[in-house]
């Protein structure tokens, strides 16, 4: 397999990783930095300082990285020599970020934090403000960049409180609110598909599109995150950020350029055009579910209430399906159906654009089938674009049958794929903001989901059960049936 072209080396930087012994650090951030190191895109003068409360020195941290980080790195991407060279970039500082006085130790290292300072907050949101205040007190914020992981708050009010506090220390163009979905290669291809091809633009509107489906399905349960997930739920964890970001990219107008503010400004217009949800809309068009015991790949799995860390009798949702409308000139009257959940029948992320049937059959008594013409954009597990159409079946008569054209990207592009976190971290290092969420985008998304959160606080608002290993509650299918369509679940 051919290798990706070697990126240009970056300028000197100091990458300070708060939460440096956490799950996100060992599974995603450090492996992504290692991949960038192997590609030659970090440059020789990039250093990584892990910061955490765990009592370790540098040598102990390197042993921890050998044990916990290296297993998450593909062996094909890393020789022993590459791993040793990456380890040489690492340092460690024990620091309790909840204690303001602790940042004196980081201030003493100020002269060694050369180049652009990047502070990655891979911690709970409760530490975002104390860390930023500690950095400011240590005199480390001038010209620095700060990366904030989701969830950024629990609702609109808490999100605004964090943004206000962080924004009083860092300017907006210093703040990188990360949504790793925006770094996926397949999501980048949404921009290429829409704005690089004249084929689709004339059809990308209400006159030709009947409905659009966005599905992000997981087979995994809450794993070891039961206590976190029980305080969060699928609406906050997936819909408010990932799915609304995908919707905004699919529905946005062509930006003037791929400049950060041009792209984010068009996404914001979509988010502000979402039809507000009243109580009746929520009752009819939002489905809330929770998985019960079932089977995944033939093996029994627990229900949500049996997961470690989940409160007895919890009503936290693990599935959400909803109908969304974009009230603007391009999309008026076109329903967007969003679906996401855990312990579903498959692991898939895809967007299905259903085109309207022909207005009159010139081929005799042929059914004018909804969805016969559709474009399926598969984001995971394997990237592809499939265009479904009707063709004449061989033989006598004019009998139509569904066929498809399939474009599998791994067959066209043989080079290694860049993982989402690697792309986003390189963008932070280079100072590129286009793939990060601007504050007004985030506020618009929180404002739109707020009525749903309020409605679900009612004691009567309990999630509908579904068996693990299925596609969710029956009400999710009924939601689409009322619009004379169904969820598209294609084998790939």
Bridge-based pairing of strands 116-121 and 145-148 is: parallel
Contact 266, 256 (CB under 8 A): no
Q: Which of 423, 436, 430 is nearest to 39 (CA)?
A: 423
CA–CA dist 133, 182 (Å, integer): 28
The burial class, CB within 10 Å (0-12 / 13-18 / 19+), for 244 is buried
Q: What is the DSSP letter of 29?
A: I
- How does 144-163 read in b/e, with b if 16+ C-beta sit within 10 Å? bbbbbbbbbbbbbeebbebb
- Cα–Cα dist 48/62, whole Å: 12
> Which of 34, 37, 180, 242 does the annotation list as catalytic?
242
Q: Rounded to a whole number, what is the distance in angstroms from the first to the last CA of the chain?
A: 23
The helix-helix angle for 244-251 and 439-455 (nearest 10°) equals 120
Token pair, residue 277, equals: 């949800």
- In sequence order, the 6+-apart residues with CB closer than 8 A to the CB of 26 are 65, 68, 69, 72
State yes or no: is 37 an active-site residue: no
User: 3-state class of 176 per DSSP?
Assistant: strand
Bridge pairing between strands 348-355 and 374-380: antiparallel
- Tokens linked to 370: 């909804």
**Alpha-carbon distance 485 to 43, whole Å?**
52
Residues with a known catalytic role: 242
């Amino acid at each position: 397999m051919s290798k990706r072209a070697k990126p240009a080396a970056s300028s000197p930087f100091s990458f300070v990783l708060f939460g440096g012994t956490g799950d996100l650090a060992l599974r995603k951030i450090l492996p992504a930095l290692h991949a960038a190191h192997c590609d030659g895109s970090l440059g020789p003068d990039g250093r990584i300082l892990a910061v955490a409360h765990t009592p370790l020195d540098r040598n102990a941290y390197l042993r921890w990285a050998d044990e916990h980080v290296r297993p998450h790195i593909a062996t094909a991407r890393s020789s022993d020599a590459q791993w040793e060279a990456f380890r040489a970039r690492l340092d460690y500082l024990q620091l309790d970020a909840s204690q303001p006085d602790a940042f004196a130790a980081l201030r003493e290292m100020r002269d060694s934090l050369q180049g652009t300072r990047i502070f990655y907050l891979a911690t709970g949101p409760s530490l975002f403000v104390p860390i930023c205040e500690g950095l400011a007190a240590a005199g480390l914020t001038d010209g620095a960049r700060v990366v904030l992981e989701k969830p950024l708050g629990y609702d609109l009010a808490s999100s605004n409180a964090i943004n206000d506090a962080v924004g009083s220390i860092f300017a907006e163009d210093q703040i990188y609110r990360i949504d790793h979905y925006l770094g996926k290669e397949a999501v980048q291809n949404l921009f290429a598909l829409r704005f690089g091809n004249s084929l689709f633009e004339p059809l990308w509107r209400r006159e030709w599109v009947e409905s659009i489906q966005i599905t992000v399905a997981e087979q995994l349960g809450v794993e070891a995150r039961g206590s976190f997930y029980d305080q969060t739920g699928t609406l906050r964890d997936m819909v408010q950020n990932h799915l609304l970001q995908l919707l905004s990219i699919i529905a946005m107008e062509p930006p003037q350029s791929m400049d950060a503010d041009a792209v984010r400004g068009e996404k914001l217009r979509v988010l502000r055009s979402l039809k507000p949800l009243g109580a009746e809309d929520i009752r009819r068009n939002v489905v809330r579910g929770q998985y019960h015991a079932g089977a995944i790949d033939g093996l029994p799995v627990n229900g949500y209430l049996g997961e470690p860390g989940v409160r007895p009798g919890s009503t936290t949702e693990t599935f959400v399906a909803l109908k969304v409308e974009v009230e603007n000139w391009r999309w008026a009257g076109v329903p967007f159906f969003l679906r996401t959940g855990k312990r579903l029948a498959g692991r898939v992320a895809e967007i299905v654009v259903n085109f309207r049937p022909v207005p009159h059959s010139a081929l005799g008594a042929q059914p004018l089938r909804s969805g016969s013409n559709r474009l399926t954009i598969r984001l995971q597990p394997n990237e592809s674009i499939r265009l479904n159409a009707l063709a004449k079946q061989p033989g006598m008569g004019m009998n139509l049958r569904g066929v498809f054209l399939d474009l599998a990207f791994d067959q066209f592009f043989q080079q290694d794929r860049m993982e989402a976190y690697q792309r986003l971290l390189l963008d932070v290092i280079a100072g590129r903001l286009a793939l990060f969420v601007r504050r007004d985008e985030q506020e618009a998304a929180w404002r739109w989901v707020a009525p749903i959160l309020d409605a679900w606080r009612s004691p009567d608002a309990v999630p509908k059960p579904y068996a693990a290993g299925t596609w969710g509650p029956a009400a999710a299918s009924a939601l689409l049936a009322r619009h004379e369509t169904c969820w598209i679940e294609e084998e790939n």
